[in-house]
Amino acid sequence: MTDDNAPSPSLLDLAPVIPVVVIDDAADAVPMARALVAGGLPAIEVTFRTPAAADAIRAIAAEVPDAVVGAGTVLTPGHVDTAVAAGSRFLVSPGWTDRLLGAMRDSGIPSLPGVSTTSEVVALLERGVTEMKFFPAEAAGGTAYLSSLASPLPDARFCPTGGVNATRAPGYLALPNVGCVGGTWMLPADAVAAGDWTRVESLAREAAALR
């Protein structure tokens, strides 16, 4: 029997890796998402870095039911509204302000506001936020920095993104305060350009097996 009152699983616990997707052509969205899900990566972050983002999110939400599609590079309350209207199931920002954080919370869907300093982490904890994006992960101190936060800030959990690849990901995933990582390495540009979704699925499967 399913407990309807059971809490939903955390976004950080859906898979060890969240693919960070930059889509130039919305027509690629559905086959790309199907390949990622088939490889074991259901949470897909489509970034608001191209004009095709909202249409891509809308297509994935409508046609790939097993995908948990979200919006990344969310910078404004307007982005929040667009993402939710398109069918996003989570939101990710590279940083945060109180105005943006308020809009993300008001959306009613999970969000990962971005941090890169201890003070930003403490400020979010003060506001009741315990799950965050750590960005840009490698430039901001990498595994050594996050490891140093685990003891003094045990309630904070992170999804490091930025410079994380297949080689570096295991080091992040071994940390007690990291739930998952974000990356693009399972979506090489040449594979996407060629529509080689079999290769994308294979790389996604390797990423899903990192933990």
Residues catalogued as catalytic: 45, 133
Residue with tokens 């540009």: 189
Under 8 Å between Cβ of 50 and 22: yes
Contact at 8 Å (CB) between 95 and 79? no
β-pairing verdict for 131-134 and 111-112 = unpaired
For residues 45-55, b (16+ Cβ closer than 10 Å) or e, as one string? bbbbebebbbb
SS3 76: coil
Give the Cβ contact number of residue 206 at 10 Å. Answer: 15
Does the bond joining 77 to the residue before it have cis omega, within 30 degrees of 0?
Answer: no
Of 68, 166, 155, nearest to 110 by C-alpha is 68
